[in-house]
Amino acid sequence: MTSDAALPIEITVQDLEALRSRDASFVLLDVRETEEYQTARIEGSKLLPMSEIQQRLPELEEHRNDHIVVQCHHGGRSMQVTQFLRAQGFDNAQNLAGGIDQWSVQIDPSVPRY
């Protein structure tokens, strides 16, 4: 992928919902801690806590060229992970702006807020 065709570093919750509604192929990577994931999660997300990302990076190798949407609670940790992944050559990684909290507020109120 050329740099001028790269995906923006962030994606909105509305854009994520559009991806899901058209069954687009992407990986939804949840980088919160296990306790947070057990409290609230977006259906279909894969848990890989930020605290474990460096050790567990090989688990993502099969997704190197896939679209990866990284999410956390409000978007701060996921932005750090998105930047880390891009630095490792995962050019299609995007941060979910506002995280699961915005997802709950704007898209799916059945997802608990905390």
Which positions are annotated as active-site residues? 72
Q: How many helices (H) and strands (E) does the chain have?
A: 5, 5
Q: What residues form DSSP beta bridges with 26?
A: none
The one-letter amino acid at 28: L
Q: CA separation (Å) from 17 to 5, 33, 63?
A: 22, 23, 20
